[in-house]
Amino acid sequence: MLIQKNYFIERTMILVMGEYDRYGKLCARIVEGTTSFLVDRTPLQLLDDTLMYIGFDLKGAITGAKSILGKKMKCPIIVNPYLRICLFPNKSPKKADCIWFNPDHITKTIAAGSKTEVELSNGYSITVDSKLAYFNDKIYTANKLLRLSEERGTQPNSSILYLHPTKDHQLVKEKTGKYNFNELEKEQD
């Protein structure tokens, strides 16, 4: 079996989870569409690699998510805000068998006793050790994180008043070498 050296999470990725290779090394199992492959990185390294590639990091993504959602354990993270990729773990990310789901690829969830059957966009399903209500809450929380972060990103502070300056005002350099920024202050009075 060929193991890929690296991988960056894309919108087509359905899930990532830990899996040990034949040498006992923890790798990342990727399910993308109807294909599945191993990457020679742990799931957390893979998340961090993807974030680092676009100028962020895993620690910051976790801190930011907890800040937006309030302190939460096992909270979702935004892996790529530009592509709107948010993933959530089904259990503690420190556990090797943790599955990080992309909620965009979950088509249906069904109670299976104390477990949940998760139907995926590729036509397959996977059963996880989680009650239906708990798992559905994770999907809801991931979507909420994405929505709130987008709102904050496009409207960082709704209390800011935008001034529409008239075209006859100009900031000019005075003889002292400084610009006449005090003209702006006069306009606000």
* DSSP secondary structure letters along 17-55: EEEE-TTS-EEEEEEETTEEEEESS-HHHHHHHHHHHTT
129 touches 72 (CB < 8 A):
no
Note the pLDDT of residue 174: 80
Q: Across the strands, what pairs with 16? A: 30, 100
Phi, psi of 182 (to 5 degrees): -65, -20
- Alpha-carbon Rg for the chain, nearest whole angstrom, is 23
Pairing of strands 115-120, 35-39: unpaired
**pLDDT at residue 24 in the model:** 95
Burial class for 79, CB neighbours closer than 10 Å (0-12, 13-18, 19+): buried
Per-residue pLDDT of the chain (189 residues; tens, 9 = 90+): 679 999 999 999 999 999 999 999 999 999 999 999 999 999 999 999 999 999 999 999 999 999 999 877 889 999 999 999 999 999 999 999 999 999 999 999 999 999 999 999 999 999 999 999 999 999 999 999 999 999 888 876 655 444 554 556 677 778 887 877 777 666 555
The CA-based dihedral angle spanning residues 128, 106, 135, 93, taken in that order and rounded to the nearest 10 degrees: 70
At which residue do the structure tokens 């139907």 appear? Answer: 119
Report the distance separating Cα 165 and Cα 38, nearest Å: 57
**Residue 149: per-residue pLDDT:** 92
State the DSSP string of 135-180: HHHHHHHHHHHHHHHHHHHHSS-TTPPPP---TT----B-TTS-B-
pLDDT at 161: 47
Closest to 154 measured CA to CA, from 100, 102, 81, 91: 81
Residue 105 neighbours by CB under 8 Å, 6+ apart: 13, 14, 15, 120, 121, 122
Q: In this predicted structure, what is the pLDDT of residue 188?
A: 57
| Upper half-sphere CA count for residue 38 (Cβ side, 13 Å) | 13
Q: Is 121 helix (H, G, I), strand (E, B) or coil?
A: coil
